[in-house]
Structure 1
Amino acid sequence: EAAVEMGAVKKTEFERVIVDTTVQEKAAAHPTDSRLLEVARDKVARLAKRAGIKLKLTHEREGKTLRRRAAGYAHARQFRRLKKVLRRQRTILGSVLRQVQRKLGQLDEATRECLLPWIERAERIRSQRPHDKGKLYALHAPEVECIGKGKARKPFEFGVKVSLAVTHRHGLVVGARTFPGNPYDGHTLAEQLEQTRNLLQDVGVEPKAAIVDLGYRGVDDAVSVQVIHRGKSKTLTAQQRGWLR
């Protein structure tokens, strides 16, 4: 608003925006099954000890050994041996979980409520399989999702889908929001433009054209602005083609 008043940016700048999505990556290591199982076992054992639960077996030494063996077998592509190690890791994680669950009744309400979310996440890790949907990729960040962006150097990214709206001329950010669940790009456009209109209320201008990629095809009826992408090349004017470039 101050830039508009000073004349550094014209109001018409905000009538044309570029909208696209990306992945906001989270601080999560690559989610291999063996690592997740070992992290879950260690986390539950540590929280139980902190809560005053005395475990008969924590499997700490065996857990570290199995983690190293799994890494070696995966590197050597010895998948039968790797599956055997993973099966044992699930067994010892289940053993630790059952020991903790049997003694939850001895804890006070506040401590029990603190433990239950971690126990639930550890159980999800123990029961999930490679081709399941809705997998848990990070114990500390359950919102992390596996999103494919088509990059040759990095086929998959682990985080949350984010939509950004920037002005076409100077690249001023006029909207940014997350979309958990990895929805289709076109289904995020209406909500992103609504946020942009709200943020530009003080400027007194609304976006009239959205320049997007082919991931936003077929959403013209869902929004009140002109949607411009290269899929409409036969009907675009010379000026609009210039905007796309």
Structure 2
Amino acid sequence: MSQSWDEINQMTQEVVDITQSVLQQAESVLKKLQQTKKPLVEAQKEKLQSLVNKTKQLIDQAKQVIDGNRMIPDRLISIHDPETRPIKKGKLTKKVEFGYKVRIDETESGFVTGYAVYTGNPSDDDLLIPAVQHHQEVFGSVPHAVATDRGFSSRNNEQMMREELGIHRVSTPFRGKKSK
């Protein structure tokens, strides 16, 4: 396995070297544009400066990976959408997807009653009670029943829905592998 990491580190270093060369060229262009004050040029200058800043961040991240740091919190995943995050989905075919987490609330007949788009990758179990409270705000009462997937399961959620919110039918399967 260490040989594989050595190969990855070598390739990553090659990408860093090429990227640093391109970065120097972009910074040279920015210096030349400093003398121009035309509105169209100003807008392009801002875009280029933003890309230069993000590229520097990516180079720094790549160097951290080469140095052995494989877990970089809040790392830049996309130069074009800096807020996108890696999201572990627990699917067999896709271990990680990239983007935003979306919560969709719906009735048993499929009518969408609420939704939320989250930056980052908040835990599903932190999203359930706010979803139920949103339902209560919109409809003036809590739902008669709540059914979720196992990501929303927690003792705290189940207790709060039953005891504090008065929902009698709660189906939040336990986390972990399915039993036979």
User: What is the CA–CA distance in structure 1 between the aligned matches of 2:18 and 2:172, rounded to whole Å?
Assistant: 54
The residue correspondences of 1:40-59 to structure 2 (distance < 5 A) are: none
Corresponding residue of 1:210 = 146
C-alpha separation between the residues in 2 aligned to 1:99 and 1:196?
54
Identify which of 5, 8, 11 aligns with 1:85.
11
Distance (whole Å) between structure 2 residues aligned to residue 212 and residue 125 of structure 1: 38
Distance 1:205 1:221 in 2: 15
Q: Is the 8 A contact 2:153 2:173 kept in 1?
A: no
| Alpha-carbon shift at residue 102 of structure 1 (Å) | 4.1
2:24 to 75, 79, 98: 98
Identify which of 219, 224, 229 aligns with 2:171. Answer: 229
* 1:115 matched residue in structure 2: 48
- Give the aligned partner of residue 125 of structure 2: 186
- Cα distance, 1:90 vs structure 2: 0.2
Is the CA contact 1:207–1:225 (under 8 Å) kept in the aligned structure 2? no
Question: Identity of paired residues, percent?
Answer: 26
Q: Which residue of 2 aligns with 1:39?
A: none
Q: Is 2:142 the partner of 1:142? A: no
| Aligned residue number for residue 66 of structure 1 | none
The CA deviation at 1:221 is: 4.0
Q: Which moved more, 1:176-185 or 1:93-102?
A: 93-102
Which of 78, 87, 91 is the matching residue for 1:151? 91
TM-score between the two structures when normalised by the length of structure 2: 0.67
The alpha-carbon deviation at position 231 of structure 1 amounts to: 6.2
Please provide the CA RMSD for this pair: 3.0
What secondary structure does 2:102 align onto? strand
Instruction: Give CA-to-partner distance per residue, 1:74-126, whole Å, 9 cap, x none.
Output: xxx85534422321210121122133224424324333222222222222221
Change (3 A) 1:181 1:106: same
Within-5 A mapping of 1:34-45: none
TM-score, normalized by length of structure 1? Answer: 0.52
8 A contact 2:146–2:170 mirrored in 1: yes
Q: CA deviation at 1:225?
A: 5.2
Name structure 2 gaps, 5 residues minimum: 175-180
Which secondary structure does the structure 2 equivalent of 1:137 belong to? coil
Q: C-alpha separation between the residues in 1 aligned to 2:79 and 2:128?
A: 31
- What secondary structure, in the 3-state scheme, does the structure 2 residue paired with 1:165 have? strand
